[in-house]
Structures are given as structure tokens and as C-alpha cells.
């Protein structure tokens, strides 16, 4: 059985990002692949942001935590 991955990020906005970047047409496979990459990067940043907030003694993730984690 093939395990399907659930996308957190909707496909339509992902396609719009690719189109805004200059693509004239975007295949469904390309949208899926790009959404997967964006999701992986986002989850890594989110996890790091949570660690930074926890290290600072907070439960709330702030804007600065995300910016620091994205560097």
C-alpha cells in the first residue's frame, strides 16, 4: 500500500507562487513537489522557533523567534 502524504499547504496558493515566479504553466506533479518542499522547510523552521521560545522561557512563539529560526 502506498502511503499518501497529507498536505498542510493548499495547492492553489502553491501554484500561484510558481506562476508569480514566472512559470507560464505548472503541472500537478510540480505543485505537489513544491508544496512538499515548502512544507518540509516550514516544519523545520516551526520546530526551531518553538525551541527558541522554550529556551527563552516562553510558551508563545514570537515573530523574532521565527526570523531567528529562518536564518
* Digit-coded pLDDT (tens) for 4-57: 667 788 999 999 999 999 999 999 999 999 999 999 999 999 999 999 999 999
Pick from 49, 45, 17: which is nearest to 33 by CA? 17
Q: Tell me what the mean pLDDT of segment 58-68 comes to.
A: 97
pLDDT of residue 19: 96
Tell me the domains of the chain and their CATH numbers: 42-71 (1.10.20.10)
pLDDT of residue 18: 97
And the C-alpha cell for 6?
A: 497529507
37 alpha carbon, distance to own chain's centre: 7
Does residue 1 surpass a pLDDT of 90? Answer: no
pLDDT of residue 5: 63
Amino acid at each position: 500500500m502506498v502511503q499518501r502524504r497529507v498536505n498542510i499547504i493548499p495547492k492553489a496558493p502553491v501554484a500561484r507562487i510558481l506562476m508569480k515566479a514566472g512559470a507560464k504553466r505548472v503541472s500537478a506533479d510540480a505543485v505537489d513537489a513544491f508544496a512538499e518542499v515548502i512544507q518540509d522547510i516550514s516544519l523545520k523552521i516551526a520546530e526551531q522557533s518553538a525551541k527558541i521560545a522554550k529556551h527563552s522561557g516562553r510558551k508563545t512563539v514570537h515573530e523574532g523567534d521565527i526570523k531567528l529560526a529562518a536564518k
